[in-house]
Chains A and B, each alone.
Chain A
Amino acid sequence: MSFLDNIWLIPLFPLFGAAAMLLLGKRLDPQAPSDVAVAPGAEPSPAPPHGHHGSHSSGKKALISLLCPGMVLVSLVFSIGAVVELAGKAEKIHEVIKYAWMAGLPFRMADGTMARFGADFGFLLDPLSSVMILVVTGVGFLIHVYAVGYMGHEGGYYRFFGYMNLFVFFMLMLVLANNYLLLFVGWEGVGLCSYLLIGFYFHKKSAGDAANKAFIVNRIGDAGFILGMLLMFGVLGTVRFVDVNAALTSGRFAAETAGFGVLSLMALLLFVGATGKSAQFPLYVWLPDAMEGPTPVSALIHAATMVTAGVYMVARSSALFSLTPETSMVVAAIGAFTAILAASIALVQNDIKRVLAYSTVSQLGYMFVACGVGAYWVAVFHLFTHAFFKALLFLGSGSVIHALSGEQDMRKMGALKDKIPVTHWTMFIASLAIAGIPGFAGFFSKDEILWQAYSSPLGSKVIFAVGLITAGMTAFYMWRLMYLTFYGKSRVEPAAAPHIHESPRVMTIPLSVLAVGSVLAGWIGVPKLWSVFPDAFRTFEHWLAPALASASAHVAETAHHDAATEWLLMLLSVAVALAGIWLARYMYDIKPEKADALASSAPGLYNTLLNKWYVDEIYGFLFIDGMAKGGGTVLGTFDNRVVDGGVNGAGWLTRLTSTVSIWWDTWIIDGSVRLMSFLVKLSSYPMRILQTGQFQAYALAFVLGVLIFFGYYMMR
């Protein structure tokens, strides 16, 4: 048995866990009868005992705690095995096709040749998907372990883990699929799990609303994805990654690189799908609201894995996007705009998780900038490092919320540094990483993105400048979060203050592991500029090169920029990050009154940012009131007049024609039949009176006939 041939098993372990939980979980969970989850914010007892997971667990519950993270661990082991075997192969691609999942009918493609609609139930492991499965199973496993502690005292424990395992299953299907259609199955599946987990506290209306919002906004993007896939069928005749890449690199479509052609449209439609899933402008609005879900869900789905699916898909389609500079420019522009928009909103948010949510949107914007300028490996690199430090930040914020008995408002935190030291130190590392301090993971990937944005032929100085400003903002809002949460004076509510406690070890150990990752993850993508380090420190780019072959062409062209510029830009980005951190320290630690003074000096801007640029209100006005309600009136009128009118008209017409039909039937058809019978009756009358039926009458006629006959002969 080789792991490589059994990659199809990797998603099945979490599926088993999910099936076990969702089918049988209710019998395992002693709290199941009161299956109403209690949010950390709505904790009824103000004094959760220390180590509450212990006081609540029973043997059966321990089974859940072992089975579900265990299944993800098994997947992780299989993933590592498969990736190690893949690394040993000369050709860094391995496809396992189990069966023809959709064997469809032949159809005529756009260029007139015939193709067969179809998709396999097949799995593809290449460097790109290997990075993804390691992130999904590795970070996913740590978050599952963390959730054992975090969710330990909540109702619906089995339900939570069932959904989480189901999510891991779909996510692995997404990244292991060997064609777009199967990828889309995973894509929709993770959307479903996201919906279920955002709405986990279903008794809260806001959670249900947020779940609906996430689902509906994602549908808009998915419509684009579906159209993109159909166009791909129509133009390329296949959706299998290998075939698509072969068709695109065959040179058949080289002529279309100039101007906005069908490939650009295809790429743009796929990117619309990515904007929905990866929360890019204009479809990012669901992600901040998704923070209604439990914090491990935010960490796993809305930071580390699912929201990066769009980046993965664009990187997977790198052959397509690299052929379409117009669409790539759109991708980079949307990414940069989203990055700075979300970062600006994050500057003033007071909910700790919302800051992180906008930070995620912003970082995803960075990834799309990298995709847009053709540096796909950098996008995946940032995805990889971001998974560590952002999952860590979310889990750390969960630990803070946990410690404060459900408080999420940073204005009611402060001076927690010594009370929850492990949480503090791990989040400290993660904040340095996301701010882009050299040596930490975020620095390497973010700096590479900025450099590529500046130097790539598809990049521009504007995008670089936006990225740089966003980097400063990122450092500021992250350290604002840190200072408000851990330093300064304590503003904790008196009721919650006595119960502040460090989280149990089942939660702090994943934090520590992720903190190590947040430091080390970047060291496999050291800039070429740091020539002190041997090439082994640049494994990531070399590893991904075969999967993103077309992207390397752009990367190669960066060579003509001189090293001095690159050093300068690197120093600039570090300086901006340090400035952001210092400003946060100045405003929220040294002179805390400055922050309020600044806010009140520019109330318009402050309120605009606090209210998220009123984007939700604009959407509400345009789409909900404008299209749904206003459109509802129009549609109501349309329904009344046109649809009902049509139905009534059809009814009237039917009655009219049936009246005509009855008249015709009665008088013409029946009349002619009756006329015929009347004529026959009339003409048969003389014959009828001869037919008496009495044989003696017949005999008389007979005899008379004979007599006449004889008489005739006699008289003659």
Chain B
Amino acid sequence: MFHPVTTVHYMVLSAALLMIGTAGVLARRNIVIILMSIELILNAVNINLVAFSHYFRSVSGQIFAVFVIAVAVAEAAVGLGILIALFRNKETVNADEVDLLKW
């Protein structure tokens, strides 16, 4: 009764996660949420990588996913660090109150 889970299903999931993450990054104001949304985007990529690794019977996609996770950890650490520094200086975590990139 259950259809087998195919690569297409993974791709749909991945695309959905990517859309959700993108929408979160663009629309949300809280930088913590934005960082979480970025994690969603990265994990959508990971799902894609693992699905195609399975599909092509190649382990390199798996390895690449591990790399992405490692890089995501580092990115989250840097991002949170910037966030804390920002909060100390500006007393805010609202993205639209921060327009320093203009200068």
Contacts and interface: CB of A to CB of B under 8 A. Distances in A.
Interface of A: 691-696, 698-700, 703
B102 interface: yes
A699 B35 CA distance: 13
B99 A694 contact: yes
Contact of B95 (A691, A696, A703): A696
B26 A696 contact: yes
Contacts of A696: 25-26, 34, 95-96
Contacts of A703: 22, 26
Interface string B1-44: 00000000000000000000010011000000010000000000
Contacts of A699: 25-26
B60 to A, nearest CB: 25
B98 interface: yes
A700 to B, nearest CB: 5
A705 to B, nearest CB: 13
B103 interface: yes
Contacts of B25: 696, 699
Main DSSP-derived SS at the A contact region: helix
A53 B22 CA distance: 128
Contacts of B96: 694, 696
Contacts, number: 28
A480 B102 CA distance: 118
A693 B102 contact: yes
21 contacts: A691-B102, A692-B102, A693-B98, A693-B100, A693-B101, A693-B102, A693-B103, A694-B98, A694-B99, A694-B101, A695-B95, A695-B98, A695-B101, A696-B25, A696-B34, A696-B95, A696-B96, A699-B25, A699-B26, A700-B26, A703-B22
A691 B96 CA distance: 13
B52 to A, nearest CB: 19
A241 B48 CA distance: 117
A699 B99 CA distance: 13
B31 to A, nearest CB: 9
B26 A694 contact: no
A699 B95 CA distance: 12
B5 to A, nearest CB: 26
Interface string B52-96: 000000000000000000000000000000000000000000011
A693 B99 contact: yes
List 10 tightest A-B contacts by C-beta distance, closest first: A693-B102, A693-B99, A693-B101, A691-B102, A694-B99, A700-B26, A696-B95, A694-B96, A695-B101, A699-B25
Contact of A698 (B100, B101, B103): B101
A703 B99 CA distance: 19
A609 to B, nearest CB: 107
Contacts of A691: 102
Given A693-B98, A698-B101, 12 more contacts: A691-B102, A693-B103, A694-B95, A694-B96, A694-B101, A695-B95, A695-B101, A696-B26, A696-B95, A696-B96, A700-B26, A703-B26
A87 to B, nearest CB: 104
A692 B99 contact: yes
B44 to A, nearest CB: 14
Contacts of B22: 703
A315 B22 CA distance: 120
A699 B22 CA distance: 9
A696 B100 CA distance: 12
Contacts of B102: 691-693
B24 to A, nearest CB: 11
B95 to A, nearest CB: 5
Contacts of B99: 692-694
A691 B101 CA distance: 8
A695 B103 CA distance: 12
A479 B99 CA distance: 122
Contacts of B95: 694-696
Nearest to A694: B99
Nearest to B100: A693
A696 B31 CA distance: 10
A699 B100 CA distance: 15
Interface centre among A692, A694, A698, A703 (most CB of B within 10 A): A694
A700 B95 CA distance: 13
Nearest to B27: A696
B70 to A, nearest CB: 24
A692 B22 CA distance: 20
A699 B31 CA distance: 13
A691 B99 CA distance: 9
Nearest to B95: A696
A577 B100 CA distance: 122
A700 B22 CA distance: 9
B83 to A, nearest CB: 12
Contacts of A692: 99, 102
A696 B102 CA distance: 12
A375 to B, nearest CB: 105
A692 B100 CA distance: 9
Interface centre among A692, A695, A700 (most CB of B within 10 A): A695
A692 B96 CA distance: 10
B80 to A, nearest CB: 16
A669 B102 CA distance: 32
B78 to A, nearest CB: 14
A53 to B, nearest CB: 102
A703 B34 CA distance: 15
A681 to B, nearest CB: 16
A561 B25 CA distance: 139
Nearest to B26: A700
Nearest to B99: A693
Contacts of A694: 95-96, 98-99, 101
A187 B102 CA distance: 88
A700 B98 CA distance: 16
Nearest to B96: A694
A687 to B, nearest CB: 11
